[in-house]
Each structure stands twice: as structure tokens, then as C-alpha cells.
Amino acid sequence: MYKRDIKLNLKTRRTFFLWGPRLTGKSTLLRERYPAAKRYDLLNTDLFIRLQRSPHLLREQLEASPPSGPVLIDEIQKVPALLDEVHWLIENRGLIFGLCGSSARKVRRGHANLLGGRADRFELHPLIRHELGNEFSLEKALNNGLLPSFYPMESAARAIRSYCADYLKEEIAAEGLVRNLPAFTTFLETASLSDTEQVSYTTIARDCGVSAPAVKGYFELLVDTLMASFLPSYQKRPKRRIVQAPKFYFFDVGVVNHLARRGSLKPGSELYGKAMENWFHHELRAHRAYTEKDHAISYWRLSTGIEVDFILGEMECAVEVKASANIHSDHLKGLRELKKDQPRVKHRVVACLEKTPRKTDDGILILPYAQFLDRLWGGEWI
């Protein structure tokens, strides 16, 4: 069992939502943190049917046997009507709830009760290097991904294939989130080729045989079910023409590998570099979530195509990620052009596979990726 860095503290007497993609370990985390808590698991079919038909049973049961601690409800999005009962119990009985799920889409789009500021929101990500410690292997992370069940496997390909099938069957089809499941299945494979890139809805629509608005809706569905996110471009105070479209990232590189049929990734290949960028995006998002610093993460790109992978905050740190053990001047073009456009940038860093840190004459720090992440968690960059 891995020790997770996310901070959940019910000593503040606050109900919370814990969101996260399937198999990130939400239920395991809650059982570990609150072993004595009363728990409702809506993946239990009998319980799900009873509470779906009669949500008031939750209130009646907790009234009959008041809990001494928090009440945990797994997969809360499956019965959004329970949130009205939760709201009543918070207001009238002072109960505390831990509510977890893999998608807020059904809750939010069904106009369900999101407790109006009475609950904190947390998100659990796949494993990060900081949590794995000495068990971390970059090659394993970039091939297997970082879902807790899959990372330690010798080969996770079969398990990830089943994971994606379950997502389609249980998250998409069972909840009726799309009408054309075969088209959405094709879309997933096509979208995986856009990982770490800007998205062309028109091109993907043509490949999938659906309309561009439908494809846009599919991408929104991936975001709502926490399977992906968009990285905005940094647009403040540009001196030159910049790209404004966001870039797209799946939540886990192992899932991308399966959907894009990449096979085994080896250092030195272009796909290994794309996988490393996806993983770094995941690390940066998890760091922001777990430290609760709430800084912006973006990227910067000129219309000429020169870009920097990640901008932290308001130009506190610009990060270029390179799966190379020999960083040379071509790798530094983006960071040097950024300095011309945004002279207030505080730190410019290349996170890479070199073994020894060094600094260029114009102030660019070239760091082994592990040292960059250690210093990030130490509070150095943001």
C-alpha cells in the first residue's frame, strides 16, 4: 500500500468530495484514513438499487443509528439524489461526510445538490514519484502508467485494456453519457494521438465519422469523467504573436499508450519523449492539488512553433521537459525566446535525463528530472 500525499483532514469538521479517475485508490485511501467510518458503497448492486429508489433510506438509517464519526459514500455520482439527504443531515444533525466518485458530470449536469459551499473538494491523481520513493522507475512509469494496481506489474498492457473497456461499459454506456458508443470508442483511439498536442476537432471528427460539435462534446466528457484535461496557453503581456489554443493531456500515460497502440517505449524514441511530457504534466497537476497552492499551469508557444512545455504561476518558473541525456542549444530555443517575450520570468529550467545539474551562461538551469521534482516539492519554484 502506497502512502498518498493528498491531505484529507476531518478534524476541521468539514464534509468533502474526493474525486478521481477509476482505480486511483480513492476507496482504499478513505478506508486507510478512516477505518472505523460507516461506509456506503454504491458499487454494491443491492444497496445501489435500494438507495436509487428511496434516497430517504440514508437519512432514516443514520437517524436510527447516529454515527460517531464520518460517513463515507463511494461513487456518489451514481445516486445524485442522495446529496439532498446529505445536505439535510449536515444542517440538522451535524454529520460529516466523505463523498467520493469518478465523475462529477452526472451530478453537475443533473443540477444535483453540490452542498452550496458546505463541502471541500479534493482530487486524487495516479501515483507520483514522491509517493513511490525508491520504488520509482521512469521506464516503468512511462510504460505501465501510474495507477496503483498497474504500476508494479511486469507488463500492464492486458490490465489497462480491461480498464479502458470497463470505462466504456460502466462509466459511459451504463450512465448513458453518449448515444453512439462505437463512434466514441473510435474517438478515444484518435484522441490519444493528440495527447500533449493542440486539438483539431474538425480533423478528429472526419476520422471518427461524426460532427465537430460531437467531438467537442466527447472531449468535454473526457474532462468531466477525469480522464483528461486541457492545458491553457499563457497569454499575458505578449510582445509577439502567440498560440492561444490549449493542449490536451490524458490523465495517465499508460492509458495513452494502450489507446494509441504504442507498444513498449524505449529511451531515445519520439514516443518516449511524448510520454515523459504527459507524465510531467501529471506530476505538476498533482503537486498543485496536494500542496493546495492553486497556482496556474500553462504552456507558451509562438505562432512560429517555438514553445515552452510548462509555465508555473505568473512566470515564476518555465519548464522544458526533454527525454534526453545530452541537452544542447537546440533544446534551449524555447526558453531563450521566452526570455525575450517575457523578461520577468524568474526561473528557466530544463528537466531531463542528464545525470549532473549545470547552468548555462544565460541562466538556464539544466537538471536531472528527479532533482527538479525534489526542489519543486521543497517549494523552490512556486
Domain that residue 257 falls in: 129-377
Closest by CA to 4, choosing from 19, 24, 22, 21, is 24
Grid cell, residue 11, equals 478534524
Domain count, the chain: 2
Indicate whether 119 and 141 sit together in one domain: no
pLDDT of residue 303: 93
Which residues of the chain are modeled with pLDDT < 50?
111
Domain boundary among 89, 123, 157: 123
Distances (CA, A) of 124 to 111, 113, 265, 272: 24, 22, 26, 25
Indicate whether 109 and 142 sit together in one domain: no
Indicate whether 133 and 67 sit together in one domain: no
Indicate whether 325 and 359 sit together in one domain: yes
In a domain, 2, yes or no: no
Distances (CA, A) of 121 to 9, 58, 79, 114: 12, 22, 18, 10
Domain boundary among 123, 156, 179: 123
Indicate whether 226 and 254 sit together in one domain: yes
Grid cell, residue 44, equals 454494491
Indicate whether 196 and 271 sit together in one domain: yes
Q: In this structure, what are the phi and psi dihedrals at residue 214, rounded to the nearest 5 degrees?
A: -65, -40
In sequence order, what are the beta bridge partners of 19? 101, 123
Closest by CA to 219, choosing from 254, 258, 178, 257, is 178
Indicate whether 118 and 222 sit together in one domain: no
In sequence order, what are the beta bridge partners of 242? 302
Indicate whether 119 and 142 sit together in one domain: no
- How far apart CA 259 and CA 341 sit, in angstroms, is 37
Indicate whether 205 and 230 sit together in one domain: yes
In a domain, 5, yes or no: no
Domain boundary among 70, 93, 123: 123
pTM for this entry: 0.93
Indicate whether 199 and 93 sit together in one domain: no
Indicate whether 303 and 177 sit together in one domain: yes
pLDDT of residue 44: 93
In a domain, 373, yes or no: yes
Only one residue has cell 445501489, namely 48
Question: Which helix (H) or strand (E) segment is 350 a member of?
Answer: strand 347-352
